Amino acid sequence: MADKPTVVMMGLGYIGLPTAALIASRGLQVTGVDIHQKVVDTINRGEIHIVEPDLDGLVHHVVHKGLLTATTEPVSADVYLIAVPTPFKGDHEPDLSFVLAATKKIIPTLKKGALVILESTSPVGTTRKMQNLIIKERPELKEELYVAYCPERVLPGNVLHELKHNDRAIGGICPESTKKAIAFYKHFVVGDLHPTNAKTAEMVKLVENASRDNQIAFANELSMICDQADIDVWELIELANKHPRVNILRPGTGVGGHCIAVDPWFIVSEFPEHSQIIRKAREINNYKTQWVIEKIKNAALRFEADTNKKPVIACMGLAFKPDIDDLRESPALFVTESLIAEGFNVLQVEPNLSNGNREGLVETAHAIDNADIIAFLVGHKEFKNLEAPKGKTIIDFVGLR
């Protein structure tokens, strides 16, 4: 492979764009591909369409240096990365249509010796499926195509640092593919690069998120038990965590996001008999969101019984976790929309989004002043140390105080 291989990045979202920009910042020529013309146009102006600290400056820099170009059609390159969505469909089955569509798109541009790396979170066997799809259409590449899987484990809000510094598991469909993929990631990753096979690398990503989901489910279950027992769950967890070998996570409104709320289902759908804890954790975390809705509705009923008025409810936070703008699979959004759908008078607050991104948002101060019931659904920094207004019902599901 060339000293500075050329790169195509399929998908320019939360993962693809920062990765493409970081690679370009190392002096490699990167072509970013997305199906949305608006995304392509924004990036080609040196601007960004997502919220991620420091990403705007980096994208501006590499685009103006001519190292990153966005387009809707892939070009021929030495290395292809695929970071497109992998949601679920139907009864929580993985939807691979984006991965397969992106793969089909690059097939005509592949040359001998090309390296294709899947980064999208995927069920076990997807990398092999991708390789089979390519070889079916381009049989002459059979012995001269390298295919690998390398999962992404970055934390939104700290993506640029983690992309560079996190360790990574890299699994090729053959040892030579693994070697080539590791050599490629050395261009921009300083974390350790751990070689494995494609299936193991695929499963590594899934179990990382299933493990987090299980731990959060434990915390969420505790929060509901403590509520019934009239015990402050935050104090309980703080005290239990004084034990040198106990580390209970924080409960919340449920579990959301593109990863933890989705990926465990990829294991459950493939291995239903042997993934009972994994399934149960998903169910508990989803149930916690319903429980939150019921708590708010009960507070509303009490308010109405006491005052003979319908309450105004402030839903504080819509994102799936603190200090980001991402609404995907967000339990806070689900709670808010469920209350609106049931006819409650709801004020929506999301300090990380502007009214241009979503209609009907109000400022934090407006909601605090005008609501009767204030439900903290996300632990955004803007909500910490807020003055507690007198005479309002405050329900804190995220332990702000």
- Pairing mode of beta strands 345-349, 312-316: parallel
Query: Closer CB to ligand NAD, residue 51 or residue 173?
Result: 51
Instruction: Report how far residue 255's alpha carbon sits from residue 248's, in angstroms, rounded to the nearest whole number.
Output: 15
Instruction: Report how far residue 54's alpha carbon sits from residue 69's, in angstroms, rounded to the nearest whole number.
Output: 19
350 binds ligand NAD (CB under 6 A): no
Q: Are 107 and 132 in contact, with CB atoms under 8 Å apart? A: no
Site for ligand NAD in 104-133 (CB under 6 A): 105, 120-121
242 classed as catalytic: no
Residue 248: how many other CB atoms lie within 10 Å: 17
51 binds ligand NAD (CB under 6 A): no
Of the candidates 105, 180, 205, 288, the residue annotated as catalytic is 205
3-state SS, residue 7: strand
User: 393: which residues sit within 8 A by CB, 6+ positions away?
Assistant: 299, 302, 303, 311, 372, 373, 374
Alpha helices of 45-147 — where are they, by DSSP H? 55-64, 97-106, 126-137
186 classed as catalytic: no
329 binds ligand NAD (CB under 6 A): no
10 binds ligand NAD (CB under 6 A): yes
Instruction: Report how far residue 24's alpha carbon sits from residue 21's, in angstroms, rounded to the nearest whole number.
Output: 5
Exactly one of 64, 65, 75, 101 binds ligand NAD (CB under 6 A); that residue is 101
User: 343: which residues sit within 8 A by CB, 6+ positions away?
Assistant: none
Applying CB under 6 A, the site for ligand NAD has a residue count of 27
Query: Closer CB to ligand NAD, residue 70 or residue 362?
Result: 70
Exactly one of 8, 21, 30, 33 binds ligand NAD (CB under 6 A); that residue is 33
Query: Closer CB to ligand NAD, residue 12 or residue 400?
Result: 12
12 binds ligand NAD (CB under 6 A): yes
Binding mask 136-165 for ligand NAD (x = CB under 6 A): ----------------x-x-x---------
Would you please indicate which residues are annotated as catalytic (active-site) residues? 205, 259
Give the residues lining the site for ligand NAD (CB under 6 A). Answer: 10-16, 33-36, 39, 83-86, 98, 101-102, 105, 120-121, 152, 154, 156, 258-259
